[in-house]
Amino acid sequence: MEHVNDDTLAAARKVVAVHINYPSRAAQRGRTPAQPSYFLKPSSSLALTGNPVERPAGCELLGYEGEIALIIGKSARRVGIEDAWSHVAAVTASNDLGVYDLRYADKGSNLRSKGGDGFTPVGPGLIPADTVDPAKLRIRTWHNGELVQDDTTGDLLFPFARLVADLSQLLTLEEGDIILTGTPAGASVAVPGDVLEVEVSTTTAGADGVELTTGRLVTTVEEGTTPFAGFGALPKTDDLQREEAYGSREAAGLPEAQGVLTPELKAKLESVATATLSSQMRKRGLNNVSIDGLQATRPDRRVVGLARTLRYVPNREDLFKTYGGGFNAQKRAIDSVNEGEILVMEARGEKGTGTVGDILALRAQVRGAAAIITDGGVRDFTAVAGLEMPTYFANPHPAVLGRRHIPWDTDITIACGGATVQPGDIIVADSDGILVIPPAIAAELVDDCIQQEKEEAFIFEMVQQGNSVDGLYPMNAGWQARYEEWEAGNLKSEKGNSDD
């Protein structure tokens, strides 16, 4: 087997890296791209196995990402997917290193954060591309001897041939150029003294019964001693970058994030009626915030969560061939929904086909979704209705996706059941209806709802005692004074009970 050497590095005029390509990484990041996106790394960042990498002085977060590297063997310009793999000479292991401390200075280019000398080690062995199936490769990474990344190329968001073909539409891929094809979940942070190893191998044995492997690409981390000059961007970091670098807040040793839907706010929203929420939003001029016309598989349940969104467009057969198959927007949305989130689907109120079935609904439940809401149909209704997770839907329908819909976009503003829904909106759903609450007003809104329900409890009690609703509902000044006395008495009673 040939090995990566100095000539290999010298032949690489450019290094192109893909942002997100593995479903496991997309799920970890909480976003699944519809199309591949790229950044450039300078060829001066390339290094051979065994060479140390320096964590620059003053930096805290040297991230590592084990990846499969493609080495172009034949110039490619405007090639098709069916021909693209023939332009790849070999695959090898790579490590896409970078310092998160400088991401803020790059404006998205990754030049400073990922372009440092030695930040792209590759090797050691070269596996000829014509001897492997690009969908049957395995990537593994070890951090100080512990296996931390282990994935295969069987379900990539963007298969390797598509990457080559896509890049070649705009720029010429030249012989020797290198494409880094993305990293799976498990990437993290290394510190001086750590040893990183990456290996690429085939998932099945070749004709001779032997698995092909690159061998382990070994990189040792050293501490930089030369400080940055004061005339450029200096390293700085925060908890967001630590979370991104380590892969989660827990891995970074950070406390659980308190987002807009805090446990306290969620509990308050669960405690008040949707009718009360609706009336308080109407007082604020928000009259079109209900998702209408749907039924629920679990009308006994009340759910509160943050919206994730999916949009379907009307089916057009030529477009369905491109966007309807494979890991399409529907599957990406299901496979990236997070714990407690609610997936809301725009199906234009079209009832003539299913927008979710039993397998994908089960996948959403396994991922911890609080609910699915669609203004279209549901397939496999009995199985979907049997799940613990509620689904809100227009009607059951046996037809498959391609009859009326193409899954098109995720995490964008959509319309569902006559209401506009944005990613991050708060959804409250129960047997009385489904409401969309702008997160910016949620805390104030629910406090007013709690106060309103206290007043309505007093009014209800007064009506039970035989009082007329005239002047009571709504309360005039006299009744307001009596309410305040009633509330003070209840508070005193509650305090007395708490002292027992």
Residue-wise pLDDT for 440-495, tens only, equals 899 999 999 999 999 889 999 999 999 999 988 888 989 988 988 888 877 655 54
| Residue 1 counted as domain residue | no
Which of these ranges, 13-27, 195-209, 396-410, has the smallest mean pLDDT?
195-209
**240 or 136, which is more confident?**
136
Q: State pLDDT tens for residues 292-329.
A: 999 999 998 899 999 999 999 999 988 888 888 888 88
Q: State pLDDT tens for residues 263-295.
A: 899 999 999 999 999 999 999 999 999 999 999
Task: For residue 206, name the pLDDT band (cuts at 50, 70, 90).
Answer: low
Task: Say yes or no to pLDDT of 384 above 70.
Answer: yes
Task: Say yes or no to pLDDT of 258 above 80.
Answer: no
**Residues 431 and 326 occupy one common structural domain:** yes
pTM: 0.60
**Residues 475 and 424 occupy one common structural domain:** no
Residue 491: the pLDDT is: 60
**Residues 37 and 156 occupy one common structural domain:** yes
**Residues 23 and 142 occupy one common structural domain:** yes
Q: Which residues of 337-346 are buried (b: 16+ CB within 10 A; e: fewer)?
A: beeebbbbbb
**Residues 491 and 421 occupy one common structural domain:** no
- Residue 20 near residue 151, CB atoms below 8 Å: no
Residue 313: the pLDDT is: 94
Query: In angstroms, what CA-CA distances link 306 with 161, 330, 422, 423, 459?
Result: 36, 18, 10, 7, 33
**Residues 83 and 170 occupy one common structural domain:** yes
Domain that holds residue 117: 6-246
Q: What are 421's strand-pairing partners?
A: 414
Domain CATH number, residue 61:
3.90.850.10
| Residue 45 counted as domain residue | yes
**Residues 458 and 431 occupy one common structural domain:** no
Average pLDDT, the chain: 91
If one counts the domains in the chain, the total is: 3
Domain CATH number, residue 363:
3.50.30.40
**Residues 464 and 344 occupy one common structural domain:** no
Q: State pLDDT tens for residues 337-377.
A: 988 999 999 999 998 888 999 999 999 999 999 999 999 99
Q: State pLDDT tens for residues 77-119.
A: 999 999 999 999 999 999 999 999 999 888 788 999 999 999 9
Task: For residue 32, name the pLDDT band (cuts at 50, 70, 90).
Answer: confident
| Residue 274 counted as domain residue | no
The pLDDT of 42-69, averaged and rounded, is 96
| Residue 180 counted as domain residue | yes
Task: Say yes or no to pLDDT of 500 above 50.
Answer: no
Residue 499: the pLDDT is: 47
- Residue 191 CB contacts under 8 Å (≥ 6 apart), including other chains: 55, 62, 221
Instruction: Select from 192, 215, 246 the last residue of a domain.
Output: 246
Task: Say yes or no to pLDDT of 121 above 80.
Answer: yes
**Residues 385 and 480 occupy one common structural domain:** no
**Residues 297 and 394 occupy one common structural domain:** yes
| Residue 252 counted as domain residue | no
Task: With CA atoms as reference, report the closest residue to 159 among 36, 39, 71.
Answer: 36
| Residue 97 counted as domain residue | yes
- Residue 91 near residue 69, CB atoms below 8 Å: yes
Q: What are 199's strand-pairing partners?
A: 140
| Residue 263 counted as domain residue | no
**244 or 87, which is more confident?**
87
**Residues 433 and 300 occupy one common structural domain:** yes
Task: Say yes or no to pLDDT of 331 above 60.
Answer: yes
| Residue 262 counted as domain residue | no
**Residues 303 and 425 occupy one common structural domain:** yes
Instruction: Select from 219, 246, 273 the last residue of a domain.
Output: 246
Instruction: Select from 179, 213, 246 the last residue of a domain.
Output: 246
The alpha-carbon radius of gyration of the chain (Å, integer) is 28
Q: What are 176's strand-pairing partners?
A: none
